[in-house]
Amino acid sequence: MHLSRGTGRRPDPALAIAQYRRRAEHYDFELVAFEPVRRAAIARLELAEGATVIDVGCGTGLSFQPLKERIGAAGRIVGIDPSPEMLAQARLRIQRHHWTGISLVEATAHAAALHGRADAALFHFTHDVLQDEEALDNVLAHLKPGARVVAAGLQWGPPWSLPVNLFVLGAALYSVSCLGGLQQPWRLLTARLHDVRVRSPLIGGFYIACGRV
Ligand SMILES: C[S@@+](CC[C@H](N)C(=O)[O-])C[C@H]1O[C@@H](n2cnc3c(N)ncnc32)[C@H](O)[C@@H]1O
């Protein structure tokens, strides 16, 4: 049987690649409703003009435009993603906008060969990566001391909020390869950071966590 839904306790990159192979072409339309979360998360990166930012699990590159608005032409983005189909969409986006200064690494965050140290890292809707300690260590090892790190994504809502939790369950089964950690998805990341703040916008079901290396 071909298992296409994420029900395991540990991230499964092969399953993630299969999930996003099917979604890549219509992914951007599916995410439209969640753009306010992306904007709020990127604002918390407090990026300066000319900064280098690692976009972990960059997918089709939906964060590139708001990142570029902050880092300007002199800034750099390093996008990491293991899905060839999602990265193909990201490349089309880069070509369409004639953007420079963006490099794409086709690999899991765990295995990605990164160089130098960036000023910031974004983990936007990348639950699988946040549950992989070696992936977190690899990314954080390539950030400058004091670098700002922001993660945003799905989390269980309050126990009494059945509609929110049904939504989170459905979205997670569709989007992640491991359901483990949805109570506090940021926990392994924030344990590695200072000045941590976590907030849950809207009506629960989402979080934005930020801190510094
Ligand atoms: C929900 S999408 C988010 C894409 C993008 N960050 C956004 O906000 O639109 C999750 C992305 O994480 C990628 N992904 C899954 N496992 C990964 C891993 N181990 N390392 C890096 N990226 C991963 C998937 O291929 C997919 O593109």
pLDDT in tens, the chain (213 residues): 334 455 667 888 888 899 999 899 999 999 998 899 999 999 999 999 999 999 999 999 999 999 999 999 999 999 999 999 999 999 999 999 999 999 999 999 999 999 999 999 999 999 999 999 999 999 999 999 999 999 999 999 888 888 889 999 998 888 888 888 999 999 999 999 999 999 986 578 999 999 999
| Three-point CA angle 67, 68, 71, nearest 5° | 90
Task: Answer whether residue 3 is part of any domain.
Answer: no
pTM of the model: 0.94
The domain in which residue 123 lies consists of: 13-212
CB-ligand 1 contact for 82 (6 Å cutoff) = yes
Assess whether the C-beta atom of 6 lies below 6 angstroms from ligand 1.
Answer: no
**Total structural domains within the chain:** 1
Q: Is residue 2 part of a domain?
A: no
Angle at 42 between CA 40 and CA 47, to 5 degrees: 130
Residue 85: CB within 6 Å of ligand 1? no
Q: Say how many Å lie between the CA of residue 125 and the centre of ligand 1.
A: 7
How far, in Å, from the CA of 84 to the mean position of ligand 1? 11
CA 166 – CA 157 distance, rounded (Å): 9
- The answer to whether residue 134 is domain-embedded is yes
CATH number at residue 162: 3.40.50.150
Cβ of 16 below 6 Å from ligand 1: yes
Binding site membership of 125 for ligand 1 (Cβ less than 6 Å): yes
Q: What is the pLDDT of residue 1?
A: 32
**What pLDDT is attached to residue 4?**
47
